[in-house]
Amino acid sequence: MLGKLTITPAETAEERRDYIYFQWEVYKDDPLWVPPLISEREAFLDPEQNPFHDHSRVRHFIARRDGKIVGTIAGIVNDNHIRHWNEKVGFFGLFEVLKDQEAAEALLEAAEDMVRSEGMTAIRGPVNYSTNEECALLVDGWDGPPVVLMPYNPPYYQDFISGAGYAKVQDLYAYMVDLTRYKADGTGINPKVLRVTKKVKERMNITLHPINMRNFAAEAERFKEVYNAAWQKNWGFVPITEAEMEHQIMALKPILDPNIVHFAEMDGKTVGAALILPDVNQALIHAYPRPGTPEWWTMAKFLYQWKLRRRVTTMRAFAGGVIEEYRGRGVDAVMSLETVLAGIRHGYKKMEVSWVLESNIPMRQAVANFDGEHYRTYRIYEKAL
């Protein structure tokens, strides 16, 4: 007979720490899970440190059975999403649970009650906390560890979420491009891609510039402007604020490889950007952060795996795009080719392109130009309230 189940909010720093540590219980026997840095998760959940909380409401919940934690969830009301899309949709995220269906349903119900109390008429998820962070549930592709900033979860979460009345609202795809097929001079790449890209670059006077790490604040602002303009009509998009961009980009700065991040310009104006990340998960999984281990020791092991063992051989096409008024002119093709060639020049063997909306046909076709393999699928669910 199962013990008594309770759902309580996680509001204090100690409760949030328990909330974070629970992940190690869920994944203790899963060799593919990549643990997060505890300090990063603490900052993410802390309303005093994460600027997402400046414009939205989040409530974290913990499920306990006879006092032992068996699950977590967050209910989220994102005012920027509501304003941008003019829809009363809330979200759930940070959903982790043991093989306990009652606990899963109770956690989802707690998130539903929270967003309903704020006037929402539907709930989507998992989203942690918005589509500008990790989002969606892995539903196909447990063939290796997740790539940097992509979600990961046990397969049984699908049954718990769908069993609670949720239905698919959008799938997100991840593609893997094998860079070892090509050479830095373009050998092996579809000749049509090379020919068209060369003509476009010359005719449209498109120039590409790597990120200037010495003027990082200005480069971050430039990226924010492109990102908000390029993505504003994409399904699920939420404008990113200056404070959020600064918070996120400063967190990413230590892992950026300036050789693979670039901007596209036409007539002196920035019209496109490509933010590519080294897959530091390839090193982090060997450093294996865990509760009770000093973070300086984890970081020492991480840097050893990354810099000395050279574990990081994959890069992820993480974010970017082309401002709408400059689309259809080949800017995206020029940027895509440069991303691939820059990766090859600097020793990367693979490139994950993620995530790509299932409804984004042009992007899916662009990935096909480089023989990208659709190898993982992530799903966002929705439920009417």
155 and 226 in a single domain? The answer is: no
156 and 245 in a single domain? The answer is: no
190 and 338 in a single domain? The answer is: yes
Mean pLDDT, rounded, for 297-305: 94
Which tokens hold the place of 176? 């893997």
* Bond preceding residue 348 cis, omega within 30 of 0: no
Report helix, strand or coil for 48. Answer: coil
Domain assignment present for 31: yes
Mean pLDDT, rounded, for 326-330: 83
Domain assignment present for 384: no
Q: What is the pLDDT at residue 224?
A: 87
184 and 332 in a single domain? The answer is: yes
Domain assignment present for 382: no
78 and 160 in a single domain? The answer is: yes
284 and 158 in a single domain? The answer is: no
312 within 8 A of 280, measured Cβ to Cβ: yes
Q: What is the pLDDT at residue 164?
A: 97
Least confident stretch, 61-70, 112-121, 327-336? 327-336
pLDDT bracket for residue 90 (50, 70, 90): very high
pLDDT bracket for residue 246 (50, 70, 90): confident
36 and 149 in a single domain? The answer is: yes
For residues 62 and 74, give the distance between their C-alpha atoms in angstroms, rounded to a whole number.
9
pLDDT bracket for residue 240 (50, 70, 90): confident
Domain assignment present for 231: yes
pLDDT bracket for residue 105 (50, 70, 90): very high
Q: What is the pLDDT at residue 1?
A: 53
Domain assignment present for 272: yes
pLDDT bracket for residue 44 (50, 70, 90): very high
Domain assignment present for 268: yes
Which tokens hold the place of 48? 């005093």
Mean pLDDT, rounded, for 25-39: 96
Position 297 pLDDT exceeds 60: yes
Q: What is the pLDDT at residue 229?
A: 85
pLDDT bracket for residue 292 (50, 70, 90): very high
For residues 43 and 299, give the distance between their C-alpha atoms in angstroms, rounded to a whole number.
17
For the full predicted model, state whether its pTM sits above 0.75: yes
240 and 154 in a single domain? The answer is: no
For residues 193 and 110, give the distance between their C-alpha atoms in angstroms, rounded to a whole number.
51
166 and 203 in a single domain? The answer is: no
322 and 283 in a single domain? The answer is: yes
Mean pLDDT, rounded, for 5-26: 96
Of 149, 172, 195, the last residue of a domain is: 172
Domain assignment present for 212: yes
Of 148, 172, 196, the last residue of a domain is: 172
Longest dimension (CA), the chain: 73
Which tokens hold the place of 308? 């000395």
For residues 242 and 249, give the distance between their C-alpha atoms in angstroms, rounded to a whole number.
10
Number of domain units in the chain: 2
217 and 364 in a single domain? The answer is: yes
pLDDT bracket for residue 239 (50, 70, 90): confident
Mean pLDDT, rounded, for 269-298: 94
Question: What CATH number has the domain bearing residue 145?
Answer: 3.40.630.30
pLDDT bracket for residue 325 (50, 70, 90): confident
For residues 335 and 264, give the distance between their C-alpha atoms in angstroms, rounded to a whole number.
7
Mean pLDDT, rounded, for 195-203: 86
Q: b or e along 342-361 (b: 16 or more beta carbons within 10 Å of the residue's beta carbon)?
A: bbbeeebebbbbbbbbbebe
Q: What is the mean pLDDT of the chain?
A: 93
Of 172, 193, 223, the last residue of a domain is: 172
Q: Which amino acid is at 348?
A: Y
| pLDDT above 90 coverage of the chain, percent | 75
Q: At what angle do helices 191-203 and 331-345 cross, to 10 degrees?
A: 120
Residue span of the structural domain in which 364 resides: 176-377
Domain assignment present for 358: yes
267 and 180 in a single domain? The answer is: yes
